[in-house]
Every structure is written in structure tokens, then in C-alpha cells.
Amino acid sequence: MNRPPADDRGAPSRPVPGKGGGSSALPGLGSRRGRAGVRAGLLRLPARFTVRGDTAASGPVPGEDALRRDPRRCSGGPVGLPALVAVAGAALVGAGAEGPGGGAASRAARPRPGRAGAWAELLRLPALVAVAGAALVGAGAEGPGGGAASRAARPRPGRAGAWAELLRLPALVAVAGAALVGAGAEGPGGGAASRAARPRPGRAGAWAELLRLPALFTVPGDALAGAAAVGARPGPRTLLAIGSSLCLYEAGMALNDWADRAEDAVERPHRPIPSGRVEPAAALAAACGLTGAGLVLAARAGRPALAVAAPLAATVWSYDLALKHTPAGPAAMAAARALDLLLGAAATGGGTRAALPSAALLGSHTLAVTAVSRRETTGGSVLAPLAALATTGLLTRLVTHRRTRLPAGRRAAAAPGLPGSSPAAEPNSTGALATALGAAYAATAARPYFHAALNPSPPLTQRAVGGGIRATIPLQAALAARSGSAVTSLLTAALVPAGRAFARRAAMRKVSIT
């Protein structure tokens, strides 16, 4: 019988349907053809590969004629399915790398795959098929258990078990799990680019941290204490003053972080602006918008309120942009808090003179807290916590040991001899309330100040600042009780548990008030 001519490696050369003579190592892989080319290459594989990977066989391959007549009959023979699946996996790997057209230009030009293609990429199907091919090649070489002795000693399993053992299903599942773990860690695209492309979670949380929402509960007490200082009950104008105070306070918070973005990038990189969660331009725009809203609300409360709100806004902007890192910084912050109390007095009663003593006491507390906060990132200052501790003791004495002076509107009604008058009843009741609230103020502020004085480390200093901010509400309530308004005092004191409940919410647990 005449043998066909052999190629340069000694293997017989056979023509392939759809392609002229000659041989290519792996038709359908090296060449960039479509499905027809891949099938043509697969039909030629039995002429190239044997069970044991011998690609240089020098004779006709057994079973080749049967394969050409019916390829399915090759699944249990010495050649065929293991090599076919192995090469199919390699072909899929190549197709995943280059695509049917190949090259970067082809990838850019062809449309994005649908949902099936996305799942194929997620499950790393080319890699799975390649591993399945390798498992089948090993099964064809040694049998399911490997080795002649093992095959002779072991009973033959059923058809389902034989295919499971043939395909190495445990290994495939392990590889699929590894592929899914990788997809979950990096995303379908994988790498740093995929991580950078994903949207950052917690946009609302970033703004809550920027605006320090838990600290908002320290603001309404300013207007309420101012209303109590002038002897007026809170009304609609008081609510407008509270709204104006809230807007101006939040404007100062946003402007503070915008002005300190370069410093925070070094000392507080977790803050919203340095970490990239809030854009600097957005923070500045929020500060401008909140300032305008605060002035509009103050104007709605009346001209006296606007006359106080305008210098208050100017003080806030001056502190954040120019005075914060100067010796005048703590005084500017104290003036802002005192003006906020006067804003409530002007909006509710139309005047501010009767509220000046309460504004001075509240401003002194703010001065002490701000002095401590200037070293909260570096620590090392013993003098500031000690001064704040002394200020707290002095303010407690002034609030609790001074006899309550009735506002001008109530003096005539409380004059001796008038029907229903009781000169000592109201001072005694509000005096006891002021004493209790003064003690609560001292307990809230004094302990963290004392710890910071003993060990002026940054964590203890920051805790002292937080304690001073939280002590603002008991002080406001004590000032309202000192002015003779028990109802306003209790209303202000109710902000303490409300603020704590708000701070305990899951979204607010990581939001600092400092």
C-alpha cells in the first residue's frame, strides 16, 4: 500500500477540508478564523495527537477512519476526545484573549457582549474548559484511577460515575470556585482600574461627616436661651432664628473643612474632602448656599434678627478663612456663639441688652473649648485643658449660685402686695433647676478636661473637645433656668437625650462632632 508523503517531522501529511495541502501545528488556533476554521482544525487533531501526547507518530493513527465516519465513536478510543477538549480550551483561551478578529483594534471595534458573555467572563469559562481538557488528557493516558494495577483491581463504576471521574469534577469545581473568588475580589474586569471605576459608597454618610450632624443639637439652645434671657416665650420668630442658626452653623462646618483641606490631607486624611468622598467645590458651594439661607431666614424673623445674623455670618467666614490659626481664633469663635444667642433674643423679643450676660457666659465656655481644640491633633498642651477646667468651675458657680433676676416684663407682676404674687416661688423653682443643670454641665465637661490635663495626648485632647461640645446643651438649659424660664430650660435640656439617640444611629456612629 502506498503511504502518503510525510512532513518534515515524519508524520503523514493529510489534506484538510477547506484548506490546501501542508500542515499547520494547530489549525483554528494560530489562524484567526471563525467557527468553521476551528471545526476544521478539530477534525484534523486525531492525526496529530495520540493518547500519550506523542505528536511525532510515524504511521497511520488507529481509529482515524472511524473518526471521520462518526466522530462520536472516538470518545472511548485511544485518541480523540481528550485532545479535542484540550485544544478547544486552548482555543477558547485564545478567543478570550484576542477575540474572533484578534488584536486591540478588533476588541475596540466589536460590540460589547450580552448577559451570556458577561457571565462567561465572570466564570472564567475559557480557563475552566482548558482545565477540563487537561483532565481528559490525563484520563486518556492513565485511565480514571491511573496505572494498570489500579484499573485491574478496582470494580467498574456506573456510567455517571465514570464520566464524573473522567472529567475530574472535584478539580473543576475547585477551579470554578477560585475563579469566582477572583471575580468577587476584583470584579469582572479585575485590577486597579476596576476598583477605581466602581462608585464609592456612603455619599450621604460623607456629607453627614462633613457637616457634623450630631453636633447640630447644640445649636437650637442658643436661640432658646436668648429668648429666655429677654423674658419672652419661644414663638414662630424663634423658630426662624433657630433655622438661621442651623444654616449658619453648617455653613461654618463646610467652609472649615474646605479651608483646611490641605492640612487635613496630612493630619486627618480620613476626612471627607481629603479622602475624595466630597469634592472641594461642592463643600464651598454648600457653605455659600447655607449662608444665604441663614440670612434669608433671619430677615424673615425681622430686622433686629438680620442685624445680628449679618455680623454672625461675617464672623463665621472670617474665622474659617483668616482667623482660625491666629491668636484671635478662639475669641472669634466665642463671639460667633455669643452672637447666635443674641440672634434668638433679637428675633423673639426685639432687643439684645438683657441677653448680654447670658451671651458672655456662653461665649466664655466656647472660648475654653476652642482653645483646647487647637492642639487636638498634636496634643502636648497641659495649659489649655487646665484653663478650660477652671473656666468650667467658674461658669458652674455663676449659673448655680446667683439669685434669679426676673426679666423686665415680669417684675411688676411679681411685685409684693399684688394679688396672686409670689416673689420667692419662681426664683426658688428655677434656682433648683439651674443648680441641677449646672451640675450636669460640670460633670459633662470637667472630667474629660481633667484627663486631658493629666495626659495631653491627641486622643484624650479630642475627647476633651467632644465633652466640651456636648456640655454646651446643659449650659444653655442652665442659662434659660437662670433667666427664670423653666419650660424653655426643660425644652433645651431635652436636646441631650435626642442628640444621644441620633448619634447612636448606625449611620452616625462614625461621625465625629469635633
Indicate if 139 and 222 belong to the same structural domain. Answer: no
Nearest residue to 223 via CA among 206, 235, 207: 235
Q: For residue 11, tell me if it sits in a domain.
A: no
Indicate if 42 and 84 belong to the same structural domain. Answer: yes
| Distance separating alpha carbons of residues 334 and 291, to the nearest angstrom | 19
Look at 119-123, 286-290, 478-482 and tell me which has the smallest mean pLDDT. Answer: 119-123
Q: With DSSP H G I counted as helix, E B as strand and the rest as coil, what are the percentages for the chain, rounded to 5? A: 70, 0, 30
Indicate if 450 and 479 belong to the same structural domain. Answer: yes
Q: For residue 284, tell me if it sits in a domain.
A: yes
Q: For residue 94, tell me if it sits in a domain.
A: yes
How far CA 480 is from CA of 238, 353, 368, in Å, comes to: 14, 16, 21
Indicate if 180 and 211 belong to the same structural domain. Answer: no
Q: What is the domain extent for residue 122? A: 35-147+159-190
The mean pLDDT value of the chain amounts to 73
Indicate if 96 and 234 belong to the same structural domain. Answer: no
Measured over the CA atoms of residue 160, residue 162, residue 168 and residue 174, the dihedral's sign is positive
Q: For residue 312, tell me if it sits in a domain.
A: yes
Q: Label residue 95 exposed, middle or buried (CB < 10 Å: 0-12, 13-18, 19+).
A: middle
How confident is residue 430, by pLDDT bands cut at 50, 70 and 90?
Answer: confident
How confident is residue 120, by pLDDT bands cut at 50, 70 and 90?
Answer: low
Look at 96-105, 158-167, 316-325 and tell me which has the smallest mean pLDDT. Answer: 96-105
The residues facing 12 across adjacent strands are 6
How confident is residue 289, by pLDDT bands cut at 50, 70 and 90?
Answer: very high
Look up cell 434678627; give the residue. Answer: 305
Q: For residue 29, tell me if it sits in a domain.
A: no
Residues 193-208 have pLDDT tens digits of 444 444 444 788 899 9
How confident is residue 514, by pLDDT bands cut at 50, 70 and 90?
Answer: low
Look at 30-44, 293-307, 352-366, 443-457 and tell me which has the smallest mean pLDDT. Answer: 30-44
Residue 147 has pLDDT above 90, yes or no: no
| Distance separating alpha carbons of residues 134 and 120, to the nearest angstrom | 20
How confident is residue 509, by pLDDT bands cut at 50, 70 and 90?
Answer: low
pLDDT attached to residue 259: 95
Query: What's the mean pLDDT in 303-311?
Result: 97
Indicate if 295 and 383 belong to the same structural domain. Answer: yes
Q: What are all long-range contacts of 323-332, with beta carbons under 8 Å and residues at least 24 apart?
A: 324/256, 324/259, 324/260, 329/370, 329/374, 330/367, 330/370, 330/371, 330/374, 331/367
How far CA 257 is from CA of 62, 173, 269, 283, 455, in Å, comes to: 80, 51, 12, 8, 28
Look at 66-80, 315-329, 336-350, 473-487 and tell me which has the smallest mean pLDDT. Answer: 66-80
pLDDT attached to residue 166: 62
Q: Write the single-letter amino acid at 20.
A: G
Determine how many CB atoms are found less than 10 A away from the CB of residue 427.
17
Residues 223-263 have pLDDT tens digits of 999 999 999 999 999 999 999 999 999 999 999 999 999 99
Indicate if 226 and 169 belong to the same structural domain. Answer: no
Residue 331 has pLDDT above 70, yes or no: yes
Decide: pTM greater than 0.85. no
Residues 364-382 have pLDDT tens digits of 999 999 999 988 888 888 9
How confident is residue 122, by pLDDT bands cut at 50, 70 and 90?
Answer: low
- Which helix (H) or strand (E) segment is 465 a member of? helix 458-470
Query: What's the mean pLDDT in 161-189?
Result: 53
How confident is residue 425, by pLDDT bands cut at 50, 70 and 90?
Answer: very low
Indicate if 319 and 431 belong to the same structural domain. Answer: yes
Q: For residue 152, tell me if it sits in a domain.
A: no
Number of domains in the chain: 2
Please tell me what DSSP assigns to residue 277.
S
Determine how many CB atoms are found less than 10 A away from the CB of residue 93.
17
